[in-house]
Each structure stands twice: as C-alpha cells, then as structure tokens.
Amino acid sequence: MNWYAIRAIYLFEMARTFRTLLQSILSPVISTSLYFVVFGSAIGSRMAEIDGVHYAAFIIPGLTMLSLLNESISNAAFGIYMPRFAGTIYEVLSAPISWIEIVLGYVGAAASKSVMLGSIILVTARLFVSYEVAHPVWMLTFLVLTAVTFSLFGFIIGLWADGFEKLQLVPMLIVTPLTFLGGSFYSLKMLPPVWQKVTLFNPVVYLVSGFRWSFYGVSDVSIELSAGMTFVFMVICLLTARWLIRSGYRLKS
C-alpha cells in the first residue's frame, strides 16, 4: 500500500476545502440552520410529538443526513472530476498507485469533509433545540458509514459525468427528492399503509431511520436492517468504482 500517494491526494483535497471554506462548510451550515428555524421553531411549535420526541428534535437526524448526503456526493464528484477536466488526472494514472489507493485518497478526503460538516451541524443544532444522543457509538458509526458510502457514490458520478451539469443532475433530481421522501421530516407511521410499503424501496429511509435511532432509540425499520442496507450499498459502490478505474472509463480518453 502506497501511503505516501494516499496522503498526497488526501492532503491536496483537504487543502482545497479550506481554500473554499465559505462554499464547503459555511454555506451548508447556514442552509441547515434555516431549516431548523423554519421547521423546528415555526412549524415544530405547532406540532405534537412524534414517537415521544419533540418535532424540532425529531428532524435533527433527518436534516443532518440531508446535508451529509448532498455534501458527500458533491465533494467526491468534484474532487475526481476537476483533475479529469484539467488533465492532471494523467499524473495520477501514471504514478505507481493502484485503484484502491486512488479511491482511499479521494473518497477519504470527501468523507472527512462530510463528517466534519455533520459534526458542525449537530453542534449548531444545539443553538436551536435541546437533544440527547442515546447511542453515541452508533451515531458516529452511521455518520462515518453514510459519509463513506455516498462519497463513493459521488466518486462514481465524478467519473461518469462528462460535463459540469451532469455533476448536479443525480443529486438534484434523485438524491434530494429521495431524502425528502425518506422520513427526514416525518415518521413513516404517519403515512397510509400502502405508502409505508412503497417508501421501504427508498434506500435513504434506512439511513435516516438508523441515524434517528442512534439519537432517540426510535426508528421506522430495525437498526440491523439499516446498517445492513447501508453496508451493501457501500460494497456495490466500491466494486463499481474499482471497475471504472481499472477499465479506464472516461479516464484515459
């Protein structure tokens, strides 16, 4: 394992984050804070508790996941797309490093940014509502697992995209709607029985549900199923990234 190469890619990507601190960190934190104000304070004060949890506190895991998914995909997608766009990816490909080292460098940096952002959002949430974390180890596990999984997904999008508009196509048209429909702002038990079953086909449900369980001990699906579905998706993304890099898909042309 070429740790020097991994470290070089990782540090370069992290440095890019701190050069664009306003866009990378501050902007999503401000956007999420506005959600807390509107949904937590304004709407939450007029709603009853959900599963014994105050509405303002109930939506904290969902809002954190909403930002985490979008930022993980965006960071990883731009991280690998920009070297392709600038032509510097050939320097990486000509270096004596394997596909796993490339993935560890780029995806590791994107996941680190997302975990950092998620932590800042959770700290910021304290300014608006009081909440407790019932299972901190599971909370951290889901935070890291989700960040890594969707950073891998974003990495794949960055390899697939042949223009800047395609980098935003999947997050805007697929991921964000699935997150809003995945129980971020409500419990699946509030839906009619038919829609409860339909919603189970939404992979984001398992992420939000598992993350919320780590806070309050309540969830729409079991914690084992949530962790298992997330892990399976991560493995699929890892194998897809491996195939794309080893085949040179849109990297060598």
pLDDT of residue 195: 83
| 105 strand-pairing partners | none
What are the two backbone dihedrals, phi and then psi, of residue 50, each rounded to the nearest 5 degrees? -115, 120
% the chain with pLDDT above 70: 93
Please say if the pLDDT value at position 151 is more than 90.
Answer: yes
CB 99 within 8 A of CB 161: no
One DSSP character per residue, 161-181 reads -SSHHHHHHHIIIIIHHHHHT
CB 208 within 8 A of CB 62: yes
This prediction's pTM: 0.88
Please say if the pLDDT value at position 253 is more than 80.
Answer: no
Q: For 71-100, write each residue's pLDDT tens digit.
A: 899 889 988 988 888 888 888 878 888 889
Average of per-residue pLDDT across 60-69: 87
- CA–CA separation, 71 and 74 (whole Å): 5
- CA–CA separation, 189 and 51 (whole Å): 9
- CA–CA separation, 138 and 135 (whole Å): 5
Q: For 176-231, write each residue's pLDDT tens digit.
A: 788 878 887 788 888 888 888 888 888 888 888 889 999 988 888 888 888 888 89
- CA–CA separation, 48 and 84 (whole Å): 50
Average of per-residue pLDDT across 144-160: 92
Q: Where are the alpha helices (DSSP H) in the chain?
A: 3-19, 21, 27-35, 55-58, 60-86, 89-94, 99-125, 136-160, 164-170, 176-180, 193-199, 203-216, 223-247
pLDDT of residue 46: 67
pLDDT tier, 238 (very low <50, low <70, confident <90, very high otherwise): very high
